[in-house]
Structure 1
Amino acid sequence: MTDLDSLAQPRAPSSQRPLLGMTVLAVEDSRYASEALRLMCLRSGARIRRADCLTSARRHLSVYRPSVVIVDPGLPDGSGIDLIAALAQAVPRVGVILATSGDAVMRDPALDAGADGFLAKPIESLGVFQQEMLRHLPRERCPAGPYALNDEQITPDRLAYRDDLDHVRSLLEEVPDHATLAYVAQFLGGVARAAQDMFLAEAAAGLDGNGSEAGIARVLALVEARLTARMAL
């Protein structure tokens, strides 16, 4: 296994780029949420890779060890909580393990599994993101001297939201089973809330494991309207 930190030339973090020299693995199935994390890492000086499922995450982790892993508990092929537990028990351990979710009830299970912290979605404040990362890092990995909180707000590209909606459409166009409906409900609900599309988020909540044909048709119609309108929300 390669530690990417060891391959980089030593670079000291600064107040402007407090995560300089760090590598982040985002285990996140949403393109919209991943884009927010990418922009925050870019602004902070960190490099980022993305895994959109548990299988992809394990493939990444089999060949390199990042500085930080950020895990969404709700993944398409299993629970991110299980990955957090495995990472927390691994030797050597990843430096920082964070959970991220739009569902606040996931905070305690994630921390109980071994996560160092929790990032509530939508992640919009660059300062909050940086502070949550820095407070779990050893002192030598943090900027020297006073550190001012960055109040920049991050807004992902709306095309990433379109990608997520297209993914939802592909899942619902087939005859979805209860597990797929439960996944779509939590995935679409979280993504829509992050994009401040509350009408679609409300519709998604009705799919949780037992959506009726009418409920599925309603969500599909709303998704199709947004895709056709090229996200003119």
Structure 2
Amino acid sequence: MPDPSEPLHLPAPPEGANAPLHGLTLLLVEDSRFACDALRLICQRAGARMRRAETLSAARAHLRLYRPDVVVVDLGLPDGRGEGLIRDLCLGAAGRPRPAILGFSGDPAGRGAALAAGADGFVEKPVVGVAGFVAAIRRSLGAPPVQMPLAEAPDPADPLALHDDLARAAEMLRVRPGARVYVAGFVEGVARSAADMPLARVASAARRPGADGQRLAALLATRLAKPVAPLIAPRAGSPPYPAAQSE
């Protein structure tokens, strides 16, 4: 797993004059490898260069040295809430224009929190269409809409990244029971991105006051016991786990 204290520099996409985000640099502040991989594929197809920071501290370190065109901020991060970073970016530094800012969350209620903090827009997980994500980026920049020769559905993200996210969550529940609310929110976002709604529902319940996280830990163990390849739902939308509805 990459060191979360350092931004992860992902490869630049091939150049293309018809790419609607060509020439843009995007910083994704996101703790999920799976969500990051999904957006990486979209950015490559749209012509943007993407960098990733796993934590608020890594994002702040990156932003002290570099100024991306767009910052996409997950609202639930290991070292705090993304709204704080959004507010700081809106204040900006003297003499430096601020980047466009988008909030990012698997919780639809995050839209209001992100916009109240000053974000220019909000993207809900999972990102179900390339065109919709590109349109949100262009709106945040004040750019006109474009007709894009891109397929609507993004490419499947890496199942190994999904497995790593679930393994990380299971380990955190084991060694850091006080982090239950953060871990449950993390798992809910990952599960929604993977079209695993039974896991998303259990994770959502584990975020509630008084929950103990035991059912979530048990379901994570069940998921991690399965082979890696079937972890992502087929494009047709069938559940990734045959017995999911009974769990």
Fold match (TM-score > 0.5) = yes
Show the counterpart of 2:105.
101
Aligned-residue offset at 1:136: 2.6
- CA deviation digits over 1:13-40, x for unaligned, max 9? 733x111111110001111111111111
Whole-angstrom distance in 2 between the partners of 1:147 and 1:135: 14
In the other structure, the counterpart of 1:127 is: 131
CA contact (8 A) 2:67 2:99 kept: no
Pair 1:211-2:211 in alignment:
yes
| Equivalent pairs, count | 213
Native 8 Å contact 1:87 1:93 kept in 2: no
Equivalent-residue separation in structure 2 for 1:56 and 1:101 (angstroms) = 19
| Correspondence 1:25 to 2:24 | no
* Alpha-carbon separation, structure 1, partners of 2:222 and 2:117: 40
**CA–CA distance in 1 between the matches of 2:135 and 2:53?**
23
Q: Partner amino acid for 2:102?
A: L
More off after superposition, 88-97 vs 68-77: 88-97
**CA distance in structure 2 between the partners assigned to 1:221 and 1:52 by the alignment:** 26
The 3 A distance-change label for structure 1 pair 94 and 230 is: farther
Structure 1: any 5+ residue segments left out of the alignment?
1-7
Identity score, percent: 44
Q: How does 1:139-150 map to 2 (within 5 A)?
A: 139=143, 147-148=147-148, 150=150
Distance change >3 Å, CA 137–CA 205, structure 1 → 2: closer
Q: Following the alignment from structure 1 to structure 2, what is the Cα–Cα distance between the partners of residues 119 and 175?
A: 29
CA distance in 1, matches of 2:173, 2:113: 29
Cα RMSD over matched residues? 2.1
Aligned amino acid, residue 114 of structure 1? G
CA distance in 1 between counterparts of 2:82 and 2:99 reads: 18
Query: Relative to 1, partners in 2 of residues 1:136 and 1:203: Cα closer, same or farther, differing over 3 Å?
Result: closer
Counterpart for residue 58 of structure 2: 56
Equivalence for 1:114: 118
Higher helix share: 1
Please list every run of 5 or more consecutive structure 2 residues that lacks an aligned counterpart in the other structure. Answer: 1-11, 231-239, 241-247
Q: CA deviation at 1:151?
A: 3.7
Distance (whole Å) between structure 1 residues aligned to residue 161 and residue 71 of structure 2: 21
Rate the CA distance shift 1:149–1:99 in 2: closer, same or farther, 3 A.
farther
Matched, 1:200 2:199: yes
